[in-house]
Amino acid sequence: MSQIILLERVDNLGDIGDVVTVKPGFARNYLLPQGKALRATKDNIAYFETQKKAIVEDNAKQKKEAEALGKKVDGTQVDIIRQASEAGQLYGSVSSRDIADALNEKGKFDLNRSQVTMLQNYKMIGLFEVPVVLHPEVKVSVTINIARSPEEAATQAKTGRALIAGTEDDAMDIKEEQGEKVAERTDDMKSELLEDSALKAEEEAKRLAEEEAAKAKAKADKKAAAEAEAKAEEAEIEETSAETDEKPEDA
């Protein structure tokens, strides 16, 4: 067994400054390389005592920053799109890196894969709660929505159930969703037909008005021409009569 000094709180072990005994492999492979502890040698214990105040203050600062970040991260839901069979089995799996990347992309966070706690191997579509450790004393929970497409992800988020083929509920969900899309498209087509009919009616009314105006103009022009011709004939008759009256009688 190995004795170590904890430099931060570690679940099921202790708090900062505690000297605890752990298995050599746990110390060598996890606690020491991640800076969570020092070997409890005489020199290290003396060093820790001189740095304890600074270590505690730094931990308090990091905790405060983690709490502020936790308010933004906690409860976040992200969609992760993957290829999967009709039964919902993924062709692969979703890793802690995938989850961290999805969270960072959506929330502009700066999380790393080591902060994501994998409670299982995520190899099925569905919604899963995943713990995220922002600090040894600050833990939050997020939801990953694994689906085959953005549309299925939206349906899963709405119903809270995985869209796995073969279940009556999921079939009804898909049928209702398809029905809604058909209804929306039908309404759009009706609107387009109404708009098209209105446009055609407007064009027809304009054409008829132009024809009526042309007919009226032609009629008016014909009437004016007839009146002008009548006046010309009348003037010619008057002129002829005047010439006859002025002609001297034969002796």
Of 160 and 220, the one with more pLDDT: 160
Query: pLDDT of 56-72, one tens digit each?
Result: 999 999 999 999 999 99
The mean predicted confidence, pLDDT, of the chain is: 85
Query: pLDDT of 202-213, one tens digit each?
Result: 777 788 878 887
Residue 205 neighbours by CB distance under 10 Å:
10
- Residue 72 one-letter amino acid: K
Task: Please name which of 25, 31, 29, 30 lies closest in space to residue 4, comparing C-alpha atoms.
Answer: 31
Query: pLDDT of 114-144, one tens digit each?
Result: 999 999 999 999 999 999 999 999 999 999 9
Q: Which token pair is 77?
A: 């839901």
* Cα of 197 vs its chain's centroid, Å: 35
State yes or no: pLDDT of 244 exceeds 90.
no
Query: pLDDT of 7-39, one tens digit each?
Result: 999 989 999 999 999 999 999 999 999 999 999
